[in-house]
A and B are shown apart, each in its own frame.
Chain A
Amino acid sequence: MKVRDIVATLEGVLLTGEALLDVDIQAACGADLMSDVMAFVKENVVLLTGLVNPQSIRTADLMDIKVVVFVRGKVPPKDMVAEAERNGMAVVATKYSMFLACGRLYEAGIHGGGTREIR
Chain B
Amino acid sequence: MKFRYEVSGEDMSLAGKASGEVKRALGRLGVNPAAIKRTAVCMYEAEMNMAIHGGGGVAEAELSPDRIVVTMRDSGPGIPDLELAMQEGYSTAPEWIREMGFGAGMGLPNMKRNSDELRIDSAPGSGTTVTIMVRFDPNEGPGA
Contact = CB atoms under 8 A, between A and B. Distances in A.
**Which applies to chain B's interface (DSSP): helix, strand, loop or mixed?**
helix
Q: Of residues A32, A35, A38, A87, which shows the largest number of chain B Cβ atoms within 10 Å of its Cβ?
A: A35
Contact of A58 (B20, B107, B110): B20
B15 interface: yes
Contact of B110 (A35, A49, A61): A35
Interface in B80-113: 100-102, 104, 106-107, 109-110, 113
A39 interface: yes
A62 interface: yes
B25 to A, nearest CB: 13
A103 interface: no
A59 B37 CA distance: 11
B102 A63 contact: no
Contacts of B19: 58, 62
A32 B97 CA distance: 12
Contacts, number: 64
Interface stretch (B39-47, B64-72, B118-126): B39-47
A39 B101 contact: no
A113 to B, nearest CB: 18
A76 to B, nearest CB: 13
Interface residues of A, number: 20
B23 interface: yes
A34 interface: yes
Contact of A62 (B13, B20, B109): B20
29 contacts: A33-B102, A34-B101, A35-B45, A35-B102, A35-B106, A36-B104, A38-B41, A38-B44, A38-B110, A39-B110, A49-B101, A51-B101, A53-B13, A54-B16, A55-B101, A55-B102, A58-B16, A58-B17, A58-B20, A58-B44, A59-B16, A59-B44, A59-B101, A61-B20, A62-B20, A63-B37, A63-B41, A64-B37, A87-B20
Interface of A: 32-36, 38-39, 49, 51, 53-56, 58-59, 61-64, 87
Interface of B: 13, 15-17, 19-20, 23, 33, 37, 40-41, 44-45, 48, 100-102, 104, 106-107, 109-110, 113
